[in-house]
Chains A and B, each alone.
Chain A
Amino acid sequence: MLFSVLIYANEDFMDAITPEEHAEIMRHHRAFHEHTKGAKTFAAATKLMSTGTAVTINKESDDYLVTDGPFAETKEQFMGFYMIDCPSLEEAIDTVKLLPLEHGRVEIRPVAYFEGADFKNAERLVIDAS
């Protein structure tokens, strides 16, 4: 079963962290990567750019309205997500415990429909925003 792991955190806080604190966060993410890849439960990882880059598109009657900024303005921002393939929610929760959970929140939501590469067998595709 596919689970999406949605990561929310406060951008002000993320902007204020020191390189050491950043390295500490990345250490947890690497552990998550290594574990899920080792266990062949890794499906996808997506890190989003800052919410400042977001635009929101709405349809108003016949016209499209594009506004600057993210859809929801909350205290925590949507930063990115993982997708993992676990047999049960229980196992997905266990896996997610590897992530840095001290700052921000992580939401787990089962995937109802997914279409994309055959991640188990296909070449892995990594795009680092360049």
Chain B
Amino acid sequence: MPSAWLSTHLRAARPRVLAALNRAFADLDLAEDAFQEASLKALKNWSPEDLPRDPAAWLVVAGRNAGIDIVRKKKRETLSAPEDLDPIIDLSDTEEALTDQLDRSVYRDDILRLLFTCCHPVLRRDQQIALSLKIVAGLSVDEIARAFLVQPKTMEQRITRAKKRLGAAKLRYEEPDAKARAERFSAVANAIYLVFNEGYSASHGSQLIRTPLCLEAIRLARLMVRLFPEEPELRGLLALCLIQHSRHRARVNTNGEAVTLEFQDRSKWDRRLISEGNVLLEAALRSAAPGPLQIEAAIAATHTRAATYDDTNWTELDRLYRALEIIRPSPVVLLNRAVVIAKLKGPEEALQLLEKLSAPLERYASYHAATAALLTDLEQYPKARAAYKAAIRHAGTDVERQHIQSKLDALGH
């Protein structure tokens, strides 16, 4: 039975070690197998009293050796002679040297390469997330399948297909220029954000929030910010995750029902996460390179600054949503802005805005729920009821369905 402490060390070192092994072998499967072997070796050799000076460096050396062994075995099976790959014999000696050599810049490049691989544009979004969770976060296929409520077999296939696709795309790792770098950072940030979102508001199933996914996304975002503090969008991402997660205790009541912003007990918001998020956001904005994640974080931060729902600064929110519309226009952004417009200018104007969205957001529950709420304000009850019914049809989770049902019930018949 491995001690919990040692497992935690392995988990903490995993992204960096796997990234280094992926660079050595340019093969995700082999890198994973080698990491597995190195971990087993660590569990045999490490003890809480006697840990290597740099666990990550130790694991890289052990993983490299294990990987070479695996390659050799395969080579023998295919009848070709073993070549000049030599394992490193004296682990303790090499570890010292490697610890000094594996400075942060090497780690940075390795991790970036690994994340870029997992978030490569040839992959679909769901493949990107699944692969990131598997490779970088080290979640098991079963865990990921549980998180996304699919059969483990389905998830296994999704990951296998993603790896095949990557293999077929024959990735090359030349130095990306500034533009390519920015694009890739945004792909990585996006994948982490999608993981967070799946936790923040599960797309299906019985629970509203999947805290482990939120925490994993925050952990990955922290790692990225530590490695690339000069990338404002990554800080924006971490700020956004922290501020959104700060509300998790207030978003569900004791019966497991969703509580919307308006009715949340703000004393349950985690002030510590909010203040950390605000500092990160402020630091990100100083670099004057606004991106969608920074703006979304600013929107979340604006809500946290209001002592009560009525104190919300809707004018500021309207400004931020308009900025978001310019940088990254989407019907969902417009939907959110419509809610703000309703506060500022009344329900009629907001409804006009929503009408334009009826086609793109036809299958989006929040669109119908927002429409229904505005129609209720205008006392157009039959139309409001119809919109709530449409919202229920498109809701993904039981919690969401119940929430909308209670609004519909409140309208009477």
Contact = CB atoms under 8 A, between A and B. Distances in A.
Given A10-B12, A21-B4, A51 B276 contact: no
A49 B276 CA distance: 7
A17 B11 CA distance: 9
Interface string B217-249: 001001101100110000100100000000000
B6 to A, nearest CB: 11
B280 A16 contact: no
Interface residues of A, number: 28
B319 interface: no
A73 interface: yes
Interface string A20-58: 110000000000000000000000000001111111000
B12 A15 contact: yes
Given A21-B4, A102-B48, A52 B238 contact: yes
A16 B4 contact: no
A129 interface: yes
Contacts of A130: 271-272, 274-275
A129 B238 contact: no
Given A73-B104, A102-B48, A52 B226 contact: yes
A102 B5 CA distance: 10
B4 A20 contact: yes
Given A15-B219, A68-B287, A130-B271, A52 B229 contact: yes
A73 B228 CA distance: 12
B139 interface: no
B401 to A, nearest CB: 31
A67 interface: yes
A66 interface: yes
B230 A21 contact: no
Contacts, number: 74
Interface in B188-207: none
A11 B227 CA distance: 12
Contacts of A20: 4
Contacts of B283: 53, 55, 68
Contacts of B223: 12, 15
Determine chain B's interface SS by DSSP, over half rule.
helix
A59 to B, nearest CB: 18
Nearest to A130: B271
B279 to A, nearest CB: 5
Contact of B222 (A10, A15, A17, A68): A15
Contact of A53 (B48, B54, B104, B279): B279
A12 B138 CA distance: 14
Contacts of B272: 128-130
B286 interface: yes
Nearest to A66: B286
Given A68-B283, A68-B287, A129-B271, A16 B222 contact: no
A60 B162 CA distance: 49
Given A12-B223, A52-B222, A73-B104, A68 B230 contact: yes
A67 B230 contact: yes
A17 B229 contact: no
Given A12-B13, A16-B219, A69-B226, 17 more contacts: A12-B16, A12-B226, A13-B8, A15-B12, A15-B219, A15-B223, A20-B4, A21-B4, A52-B229, A52-B238, A55-B286, A68-B287, A129-B271, A129-B275, A130-B271, A130-B272, A130-B275
Interface of B: 4-5, 8-9, 11-13, 16, 48, 54, 104, 219, 222-223, 225-226, 229-230, 235, 238, 271-272, 274-276, 279-280, 283, 286-287
